[in-house]
Structure 1
Amino acid sequence: MSGTFLRFVTQSTHPPFGHHSGCSKSPMLFAENPAAASCVEELALAEQLSWFETNKAGPTGFWHHIIPVPSREQETAISWVKASADGHVRRLRTLVALVEEAGRIRINELRTKRPGYIVFEDDHQVVALPFADTPR
């Protein structure tokens, strides 16, 4: 594993672990406040999220060095997109722009070369148990 990893996060955090919520969760905030986004914005958000549902694999289980990761630790795992995954990064930036414009939700970009102990990896992303110094 080498290279840079990106994560786009909101200001809200996951209790009790404290890491920031990823931007793909932020459109759910519009369900709580339907007036926040117009129909056009909602359609654009839905299109981006649909693309990720189709084009982003998810782990069926987490493993670290051939040892299964206990479910409690799985809750602390954080997803990172590989900076080299141009199509995914471009789509994430579009999603970020839509979310910020539609809901006035600020999204921050985190970067790291050390996402943590990798428990899942594919061509576009890693899921990792963060190190103490991993941005969250």
Structure 2
Amino acid sequence: MFHRFARSNRVDGMHAREGFFSAAYEIMDQPNLDRQTLDRLNESLLWFRQNLPVPARFNRSKSKGFYRKTATRGLSWFKPTAKEHLAKAFALAALLEENGHVVEVLRTSRPGYIVYEDEYQVVAEPFSDSLKL
């Protein structure tokens, strides 16, 4: 099963929910954040920056038109074989929940139309029957 860590906020222009990294960056901007939490967040996000490639694509269209560049429809999913990445993601989700952000772990065997793939993740445009992810 593929795993996606999502919060309740919706992505503008999509039926999908935001991923949990947006919550992590949101918390870091809080002025009253304690040093220990900030250090843990920085450590976690640094690990992901160093160990999770940034996807080259987020939609199926190959059009280079301006409107295509601003509207991405792909959602990122961890592969089931990405054990260390999943462990780090669960730890980050727990830290976010400690700080008031509810993170739900979504699981599916059908993430959608794959538009990007690497060793640890896929980016997929959801199938029409799974747009509520």
- Counterpart for residue 5 of structure 1: 2
1:119 to 115, 122, 132: 115
- Counterpart for residue 30 of structure 1: 27
1:89 to 81, 86, 91: 86
Deviation at 1:69, TM superposition (A): 6.0
1:43 to 39, 45, 48: 39
1:77 aligns with 2:71: no
2:62 to 58, 68, 84: 68
Confirm or deny: 8 A CA contact 1:115 1:129 kept in the other structure.
Answer: yes
- Using the size of structure 2 for normalisation, the TM-score is 0.86
Counterpart secondary structure, 1:34: coil
Segment drifting more, 107-116 vs 71-80 = 71-80
Confirm or deny: 8 A CA contact 2:11 2:18 kept in the other structure.
Answer: yes
Alpha-carbon RMSD across the aligned residues, in angstroms, is: 2.1
CA distance in 2: counterparts of 1:69 and 1:81, whole angstroms: 26
1:55 aligns with 2:51: yes
CA distance in 1: counterparts of 2:63 and 2:123, whole angstroms: 12
- Counterpart for residue 18 of structure 1: 15
CA distance in 2: counterparts of 1:49 and 1:7, whole angstroms: 16
Count residues in correspondence: 129
Aligned structure 1 segments of 4 or more residues deviating by more than 6 angstroms: none
Kindly, what percent of the aligned residue pairs are identical?
32
Counterpart secondary structure, 2:3: strand
CA distance in 2: counterparts of 1:125 and 1:48, whole angstroms: 17
- Using the size of structure 1 for normalisation, the TM-score is 0.84
- Counterpart for residue 128 of structure 1: 124
